[in-house]
Amino acid sequence: MFMDGLDDLDQKIVNLLIQNARMSYSEIGQQVGISRVAVKMRVQALEQKGIIEEYTTIINPQKISGAVSCYFEIETKPDTLAEVAGILEKNDTVTQIYRVTGKSRLHVHAVASSNEEMEDLICNTMDKLPGVVECTCNTILSRIKDIKGLRL
């Protein structure tokens, strides 16, 4: 189990919300066998504990004409890692930043509206980051598997 501390009922509720975050409390209640009010109280408790962080719409950039999605692996000098992460965090083209194992490494995902916008990110941001030892870029050609939410 990935989430110790959640009882079976909370796990069922979270799984239903992962499948469809727009599902009503009544629908969830019917599927798990409790009232709408009880579902609402449990969901609110999960939100207050920070277990459920947000509800969002996920856009598949590969379905949008011209969109380009890339992953960057960035190795920095240890003393510039925080600065590099801060610069990338402010860039709207960057969608995700992960600190990963290895020598001061960041895993960065970016989605651009065009090849030109991605080239601009590379030339005017990535190439100018301080203390970068190595930066590699992989363009995403197709999505084979993408699990939304946490597998319980």
What is the pTM (predicted TM-score) of this model?
Answer: 0.67
Q: Are 152 and 17 spatial neighbours (Cβ–Cβ below 8 Å)? A: no
Q: How many residues does the chain have?
A: 152
Architecture, CATH, for domain 61-139: 2-Layer Sandwich (3.30)
Higher-scoring residue by pLDDT: 18, 85: 85
CATH code reported for the domain at 8-48? 1.10.10.10
Q: In terms of C-beta distances under 8 Å and separation of at least 24 residues, what long-range contacts does 78-81 make, across chains too?
A: 78/103, 78/104, 79/131, 80/104, 80/129, 80/130, 80/131, 80/132, 81/106, 81/131
What CA–CA distance (Å, rounded) separates 141 from 147?
17
Q: What letter does residue 58 receive in the DSSP assignment?
A: P
Residue of 149, 106, 101 whose CA lies nearest to 125: 106
Distances (CA, A) of 142 to 29, 62, 63: 37, 7, 10
- Per cent of the chain over pLDDT 90 is 66
Opening angle at CA 59, ends 72 and 50, nearest 5? 80
Domain residue spans of the chain: 8-48, 61-139
Give the integer Cα–Cα distance in Å for 113 and 93.
Answer: 9
Sequence-distant (6+) residues with CB within 8 A of 131 are 76, 77, 79, 80, 81, 83, 84
Give the helix/strand (H/E) hosting 86. helix 81-89
Q: Is the pLDDT of residue 152 over 70?
A: no
Express each pLDDT in 11-46 by its tens digit: 999 989 988 999 999 999 999 999 999 999 999 999
Query: 111-129: per-residue pLDDT in tens?
Result: 998 999 999 999 999 999 9
